[in-house]
Amino acid sequence: MPKNKPTPAAPPSKKSRGVGVSFNTEKALEYGAENAHHHADPSDQKLAVADRLTTNQGVAVSDNQSTLKAGLRGPALLEDFVLREKITHFDHERIPERVVHARGSAAHGVFTAYDALTQYTRAAPFATAGKTTPVFVRFSTVAGERGSKDTARDVRGFAVKFYTDEGNWDLVGNNMPVFFIQDAMKFPDLVHAVKPEPHHGMPQAASAHDTFWDFVSLMPESTHMLMWLMSDRAIPRSLRMMQGFGVHTFRLVNAQGESVFCKFHWKPLFGTHSLVWDEAVKISGADPDFHRRDLWEAIDSGDFPEWELGLQIFTEEQADAFSFDVLDATKLIAEELVPVLPVGRMVLNRNPQNFFAETEQVAFCTAHVVPGIDFSNDPLLAGRIHSYIDTQITRLGSPNFHEIPVNAPLVAVNNNQRDGMHRQSMQRGKVAYEPNSLNGGCPFQAGSAGFVSFPAPVQEDKVRGKPEKFAEHYLQATLFFDSQSAMEKAHIIAAFRFELSKVNAAEIRQRMLSSLLNVSEELAAGVADGLGMALPAAMPRAVASVPVPEVFNSPALSLHSLPGECGIRTRQIAVLIADSVHRKSLDVVTGALRKDGAVVHYVGHRVGPFKADDGSVLEAGKSMENAPAVLFDALVLPEGAVAVNTLAQNDLTMEYINDQVRHCKPILVLGKSRTLFERAAIPMGSGDASGIFWAEADKATKVAPAFIEAIAAHRHPRPDSDPSCV
């Protein structure tokens, strides 16, 4: 058998330094072309150990290009442990995805307390004014699988891991303050209903199908949550622009053992803003990673997302007097009833270094609480306390998931839990039990310095059932609908109409309409009209006497209640350009936009350089083909006869204008680009009413402030159109 010289390994990139970093791709191609000559590279012997490609056992790999064979054209050899290790590891790189919340995006940050809250809680993050606590936050959709789109109509997970001085506290919430069900017993049924139907595996990341609506139409307790799901809350503009809620009622316990109830609220400083349905559908095709990309790029550019944490604090006596039960997760407490007390601010300031190691392997559990935070008797919360820990064992392979770096607390872990798969730590000594004398009794229980469950009195019989107040399912759904603006109401009606139009079983639609009649006749009639159905009789209520609600209208339930404090910071602005564009007016406008924090993108009919009228060059980093209008918050159309004529010849320009107008986004029209509206057959209007601002090129300075103000408002109303379109 002829002996072949070993193929030379490619040297590492000069930019690559660190264990496990492979060589430069261009060099790999160069060396691959030289493989036929079988020349060894003498520089291989001089590589620093840290730069070498190795196996998982630390053995340096001489050739990462070819399988070990008997001759260049001979059979592969089983002894090639490098190949076998590489392929075997590749075959096992995927772990089970989360059953729900599979698709997520995350970031590191810090929480800073405003003032000490020691009168209410001994929890470490609130111990002193100005105290900082590291956090890791994961946002997610609920129904879709790991590879599904970001802009699905869905609840969004909002989970925060606080790495406190007294262990990890996980506040595992959503972007909606209520939930579909009251008791964890129904959680598997809910998830089975909303997931793709088992006989054909469709639809993906969507609730618009028979099994979901069959389930919720038979579960009136879901009605309030359906209002939120069909609202614009379910299609946020950005993860940075949505609220977060702890959903459940929790207890705060102070150092004296005194307790109050509380609910947690996260309010975004960028304001609460949403997409519209047509926008969400188009974005899902143009950029399925829209929300993930937005979060990453904002943090990467230094525009850190911020939220204010607020608490609704109330006593058991107050809770008993409410017309609803605070242990019912399908109910909220209106801010008019219990105001939200701002207690701190969270800033996300660092992206994950590795998506799998951090975003995918992070394990949130509602059972992870610290001294000062305790549970209520919410029956849905009770099930979650078990479920979250249980699912991590399957997903991450063992009960040792707390040793994965992103899950590890900052404080020392000291107990007698031992062994198990994937154990990282190594305990020393012979003692692994308590009490003991051989180890001096260590580790000792902490007594009152540790977590002490609040001694809530329990004197009841064992029973399956629900309290009487749990039986009222419609008053808060009505409160939510009545608190929306006219446009938001129209969107809710349109969403119900769309979702139920996808339901094949007529009896399900009929049943859902009868339930909606108990919420609002306006709502039910609007949905029925869109389905070509007559209104049925209202579904019988479970309570004989409907209580009088404390609040009939709550402005805080509308997205418009939180416009934000950040103006146009991070807003994405498309500026269409072509050769001979008028440079001076663009500089005026883009300068004003950038000064206020907007992100300006030059968009052409192709990417690359364009020559302006003054001979300078503008670089289009995006094209109308790869970055459609739905990805931007506002549009600037340029001056310049030649440039405008070029844009007019491209149908994508008309699509840009049409989508911006349809979605009620501001447009700044400079000079002759006004003719583009004529070609698109769209009446321009002017100013606030239409969201379209026109000026001659030399007047750009004067119109820019009004344009910026319109962008900050997110959208403008269109009274002359079907509100459901926008």
Is the pTM here over 0.75, yes or no?
Answer: yes
The amino acid present at 247, given as its one-letter code, is: V
Alpha carbon distance 55, 206 (integer Å)? 43
Tokens of 470: 């749990």
Could you check whether the bond before residue 683 is cis, i.e. omega within 30 degrees of 0? no
| 337-355 tens-digit pLDDT | 999 999 999 999 999 999 9
Q: Provide mean pLDDT across the span 647-662.
A: 95
Q: Provide mean pLDDT across the span 300-323.
A: 98
Q: Provide mean pLDDT across the span 61-71.
A: 97
Alpha carbon distance 386, 184 (integer Å)? 10
Q: Supply the mean pLDDT for the chain.
A: 92
Percentage with pLDDT > 90 across the chain: 86
CB under 8 Å to 439, separation ≥6 — which residues? 429, 430, 431
Q: Provide mean pLDDT across the span 168-189.
A: 98
| 417-463 tens-digit pLDDT | 999 999 988 889 999 999 999 999 899 988 899 999 999 988 888 89
Q: Are 120 and 255 in contact (CB under 8 A)?
A: no
Alpha carbon distance 457, 708 (integer Å)? 58
> Which element (helix H / strand E) includes 292?
helix 290-300
Helix (H, G, I), strand (E, B) or coil at 260: strand
Looking at residue 683, what is its pLDDT? Answer: 79
Alpha carbon distance 213, 527 (integer Å)? 14
User: Which of 119, 116, 121 lies closest to 252, judged by CA?
Assistant: 121
Least confident of 40-54, 71-85, 113-127, 146-160: 40-54
CA-based radius of gyration for the chain = 30
In this prediction, residue 722 has a pLDDT band, given cuts at 50, 70 and 90, of low
Alpha carbon distance 726, 709 (integer Å)? 19
Q: Are 495 and 153 in contact (CB under 8 A)?
A: yes
Residue the block writes with tokens 């109308």 = 624
Q: Provide mean pLDDT across the span 304-316.
A: 98
**In terms of CATH, what superfamily is 104-407?**
Catalase core domain (2.40.180.10)
Q: Domain boundaries in the chain?
A: 25-91, 104-407, 473-561, 572-725
Exposed, middle or buried by CB within 10 Å (0-12, 13-18, 19+), for 285? exposed
In this prediction, residue 88 has a pLDDT band, given cuts at 50, 70 and 90, of very high
* The CATH number, out of the four listed (2.60.40.1890, 3.40.50.300, 3.40.605.10, 3.40.50.880), of the domain defined by the range 572-725: 3.40.50.880
Alpha carbon distance 416, 254 (integer Å)? 29
Alpha carbon distance 322, 136 (integer Å)? 35
Looking at residue 726, what is its pLDDT? Answer: 52
Domain 473-561 in CATH 1.20.1090.10? The answer is no
Counting DSSP H helices and E strands in the chain, the numbers are: 18, 18
Q: Provide mean pLDDT across the span 275-299.
A: 98
Alpha carbon distance 500, 493 (integer Å)? 11
Alpha carbon distance 141, 148 (integer Å)? 9
Neighbouring CB atoms inside 10 A of 268's CB total 25
Q: Are 141 and 152 in contact (CB under 8 A)?
A: yes
Neighbouring CB atoms inside 10 A of 402's CB total 18
Alpha carbon distance 566, 295 (integer Å)? 16
Q: Is residue 466 predicted with pLDDT exceeding 70?
A: yes
Neighbouring CB atoms inside 10 A of 486's CB total 10
Highest mean pLDDT among 9-18, 228-237, 393-402: 228-237
Looking at residue 707, what is its pLDDT? Answer: 96
Q: Which CATH architecture has domain 25-91?
A: Irregular (4.10)
Residue the block writes with tokens 């990139």 = 13
Q: Is residue 46 predicted with pLDDT exceeding 70?
A: no
- Catalytic residue numbers, as ranges: 101, 174
Q: Is residue 496 predicted with pLDDT exceeding 80?
A: yes
Residue the block writes with tokens 């959709």 = 141
Query: What single DSSP character describes residue 356?
Result: I
Percentage with pLDDT > 70 across the chain: 91
| 476-491 tens-digit pLDDT | 999 999 999 999 999 9
